[in-house]
Chains A and B, each alone.
Chain A
Amino acid sequence: MDKFTELSGIAAPMPLINIDTDMIIPKVFLKTIKRSGLGVNLFDEMRYDNDGNEIPDFVLNKPQYRNSEIIVAGDNFGCGSSREHAPWAIKDFGIRCVISTSFADIFFNNCFKNGILPIVLPKEQVDLLMQDAEKGSNARIQIDLAIQTVTSSDGVVMKFEVDNFKKHCLLNGLDDISLSLEKSDSIETYETKVADIHPWV
């Protein structure tokens, strides 16, 4: 997995609440058996018209946001289906961090598995970053995972919380399957115990 340590980038403002994974990557693009190449279809139905032309008003089509690396989003980002294609598409587009007041559970976990940092901040701080993001390419938001801070383009520093284990994996780009396999003994002990007391499982 790719590491995530620090980032200084342009943020795209997406104030809409409840942006669901069907909006992030519509199901017609779930037919791939690969993880890559989904970035061109990120937000497909909001980004292109029925003939496949770009809709100029959509934020990521605007010249100043084409190279966004951060999304500042409305409440409950990533709700809906469990598709990991959503973070794959986000990552493939070049976004490494999403900031919101809240995320849907599965999407939130999926981000960490793909080197994307989802940051939860209180409403006032998300509002402030949303205004910052509205400034376009002149405003760069900075993120430092090690010390858990987001810094607005005006230098306002905000602390965020992150699970220690997830932070450790992200900072070091660790593959959690290998880490879990190191605990095979515990898994085996558990299996033996259960086979004994709950033989129907």
Chain B
Amino acid sequence: MTAPKTLYDKIWEAHVAHKSEDGTCLLYIDRHLVHEVTSPQAFEGLRMAGRKVRAPEKTIAVPDHNVPTTLDRAKGIDNEESRIQVEALDKNAKDFGVHYYPVSDVRQGIVHIVGPEQGWTLPGMTVVCGDSHTATHGAFGSLAHGIGTSEVEHVLATQTLIQKKSKNMKVEITGKLRPGVTAKDITLCVIGETGTAGGTGYVIEYCGEAIRDLSMEGRMTVCNMAIEGGARAGLIAPDETTYQYCNGRAHAPKGAKWDTAVAYWKTLFTDEGANFDKVVTIKGEDIAPVVTWGTSPEDVLPITAAVPSPNDFDGGKVDAVKRSLEYMGLQTGTQLSDIMIDTVFIGSCTNGRIEDLRAAAAILKGKKIKDGMRAMVVPGSGLVRAQAEEEGLADIFKEAGFEWRLAGCSMCLAMNPDQLAPGERCAATSNRNFEGRQGRGGRTHLMSPGMAAAAAITGKLTDVRELM
């Protein structure tokens, strides 16, 4: 009998194309996603060496980071450097013959939303992208992680990646979640528990009843932020929820191929008794709606708490907390729910899917945002946007006073015109609250879409349960 294996062990073993004596492997890559920021130097490298893309049919490109999300974007991109970067991707996609969703395509959107939506991401696959939030695709039970530009070039040229196996970590969320608590709260709470380096060297498998109960959208939110916990990847074993989501998508298998695929996917689970090098268990009922107060995603507290003191921490964290409270303009002891905000951003690859928009709209329905509040909803893809319009969510947002944007990364990172000015404070559904992430001097509080919608109404960080 073979030793019991984890889900990660199984996917890993199924993709080793070559193994050297020292254990270094060439891991075969099934799907390579590409966006405009981290790929130009890689394509240039190929050109200079006279190399081709080995598997253009497994390579999918879409511009997202630099793309304007205002309604007039057909006019083109004002910022010259941004425009050049997007044009470089247009050209590279054409020259090298990879699948491409240009800005003008209704299917365009954030790469991590487009991949699953189009059925490119499927269980058991290896998925990489020159982007740390590639972890998102782990929600399908695929091994998915971010790579650097040199590695992008390596994958383009060889369809493999030089890898050593990571260790196995299990994060189990037991029982049920309480009302008002979402996948975003789970993933933030896990990072609060393990710290931003807690997953370094590991691939995390999320499991437990609360994870099983999540929709695919929710699972993607959880896996998306595995990287914020330092893990190489996060994954969730596929089940009926996964198959249902995949079935019928443009690039998912059909007919007999579908049946053989599902038969294989059903073997993708962690065997009884398999070894995990690290285990974290959290009770679902202990998770509250949370927000971040600092400049690291590990700076997480329930909305009912107060801003901590640097003295509550040890070691290097004491200075880091001092620095972050100063940057965030916060005083120890202030109730989190007393912190005033001026901007709300709903979107990103963490929370830009249809379910996220539904959750936010449910809070906003029939309400208005606070006077003077700048609030925007940026759907994760053109198709999410179209669906939200069909379901009437767009009207709810617009009537509440939100801007209803086109798809892209937008204010998740300050690479396009959507930015915070110094000192502005934003309730954001994205994934990073680093200094300057949403614009130099801008202050970010991370939270779930429902919490962000609640904050838009009251003008301060708010416990969503009070508005439910």
Contacts and interface: CB of A to CB of B under 8 A. Distances in A.
A113 interface: yes
A62 interface: no
A34 B148 contact: no
Interface in A153-181: 163-165, 176-177, 180-181
Given A187-B158, A187-B159, A200 B261 contact: yes
Contact of A34 (B38, B41, B196): B41
B76 to A, nearest CB: 16
Interface string B122-147: 10110000111000000000000111
B317 interface: yes
B320 interface: yes
A75 B84 CA distance: 36
A118 to B, nearest CB: 13
Given A22-B435, A33-B40, A110-B148, A201 B26 contact: no
A3 to B, nearest CB: 16
A131 interface: no
Contacts of A18: 196-197, 296, 320
A82 to B, nearest CB: 4
Contacts of A80: 132, 432, 434
Given A106-B146, A200-B257, A20 B158 contact: no
B317 A45 contact: no
A45 B49 CA distance: 36
A17 B26 contact: no
B200 A104 contact: yes
A117 B354 CA distance: 43
B436 A15 contact: no
A30 interface: yes
A75 to B, nearest CB: 6
Interface string B149-175: 111011001111010100000000000
A186 B17 contact: yes
Given A27-B415, A200-B257, A201-B125, A102 B81 contact: no
A84 B162 CA distance: 17
Which of A102, A113, A114 is most buried by chain B, counting CB atoms within 10 A of its CB?
A113
A180 B26 contact: yes
Interface in B76-132: 79, 81-82, 84-85, 88, 122, 124-125, 130-132
Interface residues of B, number: 77
Contact of B150 (A113, A163, A181): A113
A148 interface: no
A74 interface: yes
B436 A26 contact: yes
Contacts of B196: 18, 76, 79
Interface string B245-265: 000000011000110110010
Which of A33, A87, A183 is most buried by chain B, counting CB atoms within 10 A of its CB?
A33
A169 to B, nearest CB: 9
Contacts of A33: 40-41, 44, 84-85, 88
B437 interface: yes
Contacts of A180: 26, 154, 157-158, 160, 162
Contacts of B234: none
Contacts of A177: 49, 51, 153-154, 157-158
A179 to B, nearest CB: 8
Contacts of B345: none
Given A114-B150, A180-B158, A180-B160, A187 B320 contact: no
B157 A31 contact: no
B413 A79 contact: no
Contacts of A114: 150
A183 B18 contact: yes
Nearest to B39: A33
A115 to B, nearest CB: 11
A163 B296 contact: no
A83 interface: yes
A128 interface: no
Contacts of B147: 82, 106, 109
A194 interface: yes
A79 B437 CA distance: 13
B151 A28 contact: no
A17 B238 CA distance: 36
Contact of B260 (A23, A27, A187, A199): A199
B38 A45 contact: no
9 contacts: A27-B413, A31-B79, A31-B415, A32-B81, A83-B38, A105-B230, A183-B17, A187-B158, A198-B261
Interface of A: 15-18, 20, 22-23, 26-28, 30-35, 45, 50, 74-76, 79-84, 87, 102-106, 109-110, 113-114, 163-165, 176-177, 180-181, 183-184, 186-187, 189-191, 194, 198-201
Q: A-B pairs with the 9 shortest C-beta distances?
A: A200-B253, A113-B150, A31-B81, A110-B148, A33-B40, A17-B316, A190-B17, A82-B146, A84-B148
